[in-house]
Structure 1
Amino acid sequence: MIIGVLGPSGTYSDKAASLWIEKECNSISRDVSLKYCGDFIDTFDSIVNNEADIGIVPVENSIEGSVGVTLDLLMEHEVQIIGEVIVPIEHCLLSKGKIGDIRVILSHPQALGQCRQFIKSHFPHAEIRTTGSTSHAAKLATEFEEMAAIASRESASKYRLNVLLCNIQDCNNNHTRFIVFRKKHEADDLVWKNIDANTTEQADKTKLSLPHRTSIIVYLDRDRPGALYDLLGEFATRKINLTRIESRPSKRILGDYLFYIDFAGNISDTIIKDALNNILPKAGMMKVLGSYVMM
């Protein structure tokens, strides 16, 4: 099995992959290897182009919120979410030099956002540069003593950098939720449409007994008062708990949005099927991203 993740080695996506492999090791009979990708677009492309079997990307952070590019790519590609991994994030300041040497701070935009107040308080005059990943920032920081990276402890060890400061994120309770996804199969949509489909998940009775989360994308192309209220009412009347709802621009015209909705339940459950089938005629488009065991 090949897993596509954001590279180079040492990213938090790398850590998420390790946690997922550890959790799923009993069900994986093949050798597992990682394919390091340049960015999230490359990660999705590796799955769609059959260069990797599954991909793991961040979807939301407890400080910075949703990862917009991941949400957009879920809409653009035919993929299926099959799992999630919650990773505790501990950002460290890494450098070859000392704190007094630092003139440039590098990291991924999400990490920089999670350490915004720290940077402002401690390095108000430092030049901030964005990189494709936290580990890429660590790799670049090996070049000059005046450069520092915001990255993980693992990156410090891998790239032989000094850990100058630890836990520099603005909030201590910093966690990122990663999704595990694969290329979509024809049978994936049959489950909630009440058509028999012998999917792997249906056959796994142990997993079916665990709490599940389902993710969908809905587009309301008829702009009318109460349209979103009517859609959400299908969940409320059935006492289905929404765990997340967020809007993203549809990229068609200004003020036009897609709604990303996560809720508790499995698409193989009768009550969930009923809700989705009642939402379908009220929506201009509904895309079911998948059901997976909730962490």
Structure 2
Amino acid sequence: MTTTLEPAPAASVGYLGPAGTFTHRTVLADPALAALRHVPCADPDELMARLSDGSVTYGVLAWENSVAGLVGPTADLLAGLGTGKAVDPSERSQVRLHRDVVIPVRFQLVGRPGARPEALRTVRSHPHALDQCRAWLAEHAPRSSLVPAPSTTAALEFALGDPTGRTAAVTPKAGLAAPRLSVLADDIGETATAETRFVVLGRDEPARTGRERTVIACFQQRDRPGSLMTVLEPFARAGIDLLRIESRPTRDGLGRSYFLIEWRGHPDDPPPRAVLRELAERAVRVRVLGTFDEPNPSRPTPSRPRKAG
């Protein structure tokens, strides 16, 4: 769904580089984002740092996939649980969800010309891309190890750097993948209708539309029996329809988690506002990660028959 973004010539959008990643393709596919100045970032921490210090106006990160589920690191960053190498956590809370962009995802296997999938020893890509192609790779490249890379585009460098030709990369389905590399197989994803929801992040407060979904992170001071019920019971009593409840590790001890909760509505509506006040009274620390409109999924075109070799 397209929302008007800041029209000033200096407005910019950060994405996970280099050019050609799914995040970059999302920016190019959205008219409002495509019109801005594009700034590649090495990793999500750099993107969040640039958002926090104002060197980019907006940022785009993957939020969830219809096959692999929630992209946990994105949620953790917004919840204040990043690596901390680039961003002061007090600043990160100023970055919030603005809206979403849903795109279909298709994958191809790329390697040295003449390489055959069954002869590969290593396949590299972003972890979510590997997850979505795991079944195909197990059948057609059974001797290969699946090794994560920072991005689908970065995986190409590993394929180029292997003189034996036994390393390949899973990349977005597109035209030419890279110089000196060839497409070894098309449409290798597990599901032909797979989609990924990317979120647009910014520091300013987006205008209300009346179609919002709100996402919050809930932290409790200590774990105890019934801790999840402590969080959920006020929502149930207020009649708020929860769309997502997930736990994520807080990284400060085994078994310690925070809850990621999503509901239909805006946090400033009276019922949710009362719930958030009650959670504070129950010693639950809440961070509002932001809102985005009700999803408007794209209509992916059916994939072509797979081919290998």
TM band (smaller chain):
0.7 to 0.9
Quote the Cα distance in structure 2 between the aligned partners of 1:151 and 1:176. 14
String of CA shifts for 1:153-191, please: whole Å, max 9, x gaps.
23x4352543332221223332222111113x6xxxxxx
Correspondence 1:180 to 2:200:
yes
Quote the Cα distance in structure 2 between the aligned partners of 1:200 and 1:73. 20
Correspondence 1:106 to 2:124:
yes
Deviation at 1:218, TM superposition (A): 0.4
Deviation at 1:231, TM superposition (A): 2.0
Alignment of 1:88-103 (within 5 A): 88-100=104-116, 102-103=120-121
Partner residue in 1 for 2:69: 65
CA contact (8 A) 1:266 1:292 kept: no
The range that moved more, 230-239 or 136-145, is: 136-145
Listed as ranges, the gaps of 5+ residues in structure 2 are: 1-10, 81-91, 296-309
CA contact (8 A) 1:240 1:263 kept: yes
Listed as ranges, the gaps of 5+ residues in structure 1 are: 186-198, 203-207
Describe the SS at the equivalent of 1:173. Answer: coil
Alignment of 1:96-245 (within 5 A): 96-100=112-116, 102-143=120-161, 145-154=165-174, 156-157=175-176, 159-160=178-179, 161-183=181-203, 201-202=207-208, 208-209=209-210, 211-245=211-245
CA contact (8 A) 2:173 2:187 kept: no
Partner residue in 2 for 1:195: none
User: What is the TM-score when the length of structure 2 is the normalising length?
Assistant: 0.78
Deviation at 1:222, TM superposition (A): 4.1
Quote the Cα distance in structure 2 between the aligned partners of 1:200 and 1:175. 25
Quote the Cα distance in structure 2 between the aligned partners of 1:258 and 1:234. 17
Partner residue in 2 for 1:250: 250
Deviation at 1:140, TM superposition (A): 4.1
Partner residue in 2 for 1:12: 22
The range that moved more, 35-44 or 124-133, is: 124-133
CA gap of 1:200–1:66, structure 2 versus 1, over 3 A, is closer
CA gap of 1:282–1:18, structure 2 versus 1, over 3 A, is farther
String of CA shifts for 1:12-42, please: whole Å, max 9, x gaps.
11122233x32x47xx9xx512111111222
Quote the Cα distance in structure 1 between the aligned partners of 2:12 and 2:293. 21
Deviation at 1:103, TM superposition (A): 4.0
Between the two proteins, the alignment pairs up a number of residues equal to 268
| More helix, by proportion | 1
CA contact (8 A) 2:98 2:206 kept: no
Partner residue in 2 for 1:192: none
Deviation at 1:275, TM superposition (A): 2.3
Quote the Cα distance in structure 1 between the aligned partners of 2:68 and 2:156. 21
1:137 maps to a residue whose letter is A
User: What is the TM-score when the length of structure 1 is the normalising length?
Assistant: 0.82
Identity %: 29
CA contact (8 A) 1:222 1:284 kept: no
RMSD across aligned positions (CA)? 2.3
